[in-house]
Amino acid sequence: MQWVNRILLAALLAFAVAYLPQHIYASSGADDLGRVEREHAALQRSNDRLRGEIAALRAELTALKRDPAEVARIAREDLNLIRPGEVVFEVQRPAPTAKTP
């Protein structure tokens, strides 16, 4: 009967040596894996958004290369440029006044 106890003790010890470290490290690894998966998903969303911005910028670049009217529009709207001989009228609206009852 002693040899049965020794075999059971050896089996229990082997189980503890093999299972417990893996179980302990697996729980901390799962937290890291979850964090990495969340970061990966966020980076994927960011990459998709940036791909859309790149596509829009490429379309704008193509329009600028092919259409002189587009260049003129940007010069007028964004840079406030005018053509030679044009007259600029600057209209200023009065600031709204608060009416007191």
Q: Is residue 20 included in any domain, yes or no?
A: no
- Give the number of other CB atoms < 10 A from CB of residue 94: 5
Question: What is the C-alpha separation between 32 and 63, in angstroms, rounded?
Answer: 46
Q: Is residue 66 included in any domain, yes or no?
A: yes
Is the pLDDT score of 20 beyond 80?
no
Angstrom distances, CA of residue 28 to CA of 3, 5, 41, 77 = 38, 34, 20, 56
Q: Is residue 59 included in any domain, yes or no?
A: yes
Q: Is residue 92 included in any domain, yes or no?
A: no
Count of domains forming the chain: 1
- What residue numbers bound the domain in which 54 lies? 34-81
Q: Is residue 76 included in any domain, yes or no?
A: yes
Percent of the chain with pLDDT over 70: 89
Mean pLDDT along residues 46-70: 93
pTM over 0.75: no
Q: Is residue 97 included in any domain, yes or no?
A: no
Q: Is residue 21 included in any domain, yes or no?
A: no
Q: Is residue 27 included in any domain, yes or no?
A: no
Rounded mean pLDDT of the chain? Answer: 85
Q: Which has more pLDDT, 46 or 67?
A: 46
Split at pLDDT 50, 70, 90, the class of 101 is: low
